[in-house]
Amino acid sequence: MPKKTLPIITRLLKIIPAITIAGLILFPIDGYTTQLHSGSEGIITHQIGHFFFLFSMVTLIFTITSKGLNKQKGWRLIQYAAFFFILWNLCAITTHFFDNQIHAVTIENISLGKIKIIANNDSLMLAWFYYILKLDHLLCVPAMLFLYKGLSNLVEAQRHIVAEKDIS
Partner 1 sequence: MILSFIPILTVDVLGSMAMVVIALLSLYKVRLLRTMDPDNTIFHYLMWISTGFMIFSISRSFGHILRQFLILTSNAESWHAISAYTGSINTVSFMLIGLITLFFNHSWNINEKILSSKKKLENTHIELIDLNQTLEQKVIERTERLTSSEHKCRRIFEQSLDTIIVTDSKFEVMEINPAGIELTGFTRDEMMVKKMTLGSFFASPTEWMRISQKIALKEYILNEEAEFLRPNNASLLALITSGIDYGAFGCAKTYHFIIKNVNDKRQMERQMAQADKLAALGELSAGVAHEINNPLGIILGYTQLLLKEEPEHRDDLKIIEKHVKNCQVVVSDLLAFSRKSSISKSTININTVIKDVAAFLSNHTDFRNVGIHLNLLPEVPLNITGNEQEMRQVIMNFVINACHAVNKKGSINISTKTAREQILIIIEDDGKGIEMENLSKIFDPFFTTKPVGRGTGLGLSVGYGIVKQHGGDIAVKSKPDSGTVFTIILPQVMPAQN
Phi and psi based region of residue 103 (left: phi greater than 0; alpha: psi -120 to 50; beta: remaining): left
Contacts made by residues 105-108, CB under 8 angstroms, sequence distance 24+: 105/130
Interface with partner 1 includes 20 (CB under 8 A)? no
Write the binding mask 106 to 145 for partner 1: x where contact by CB under 8 A, - elsewhere: ---xx-xxxxxxxx--x-x--xx--x--xx-xx-xx--xx
CA angle 54, 103, 57 (to 5 degrees): 5
Rg (CA), the chain: 22
Asked if 90 contacts 84 with a C-beta cutoff of 8 angstroms, the reply is no
Q: Kindly report the three-state secondary structure assignment for every residue of 2-15.
A: HHHHHHHHHHHHHH
Q: Which is nearer to partner 1, 28 or 113 (CB)?
A: 113
Q: Is 23 or 42 the residue whose CB approaches partner 1 more closely? A: 42
In the DSSP assignment, the letter for residue 72 is S
Nearest CB to partner 1, comparing residues 22 and 115: 115
Does residue 16 interact with partner 1 by CB under 8 A? no
**Binds partner 1 by CB under 8 A, chosen from 21, 22, 24, 155:** 155
Smallest distance from partner 1 to CB 10, Å: 8
Which residues would be at the binding site for partner 1 (CB under 8 A)? 6, 42, 45-46, 49-50, 52-53, 55-57, 59-60, 63, 67, 109-110, 112-119, 122, 124, 127-128, 131, 134-135, 137-138, 140-141, 144-145, 147-148, 151-152, 154-155, 158-159, 162
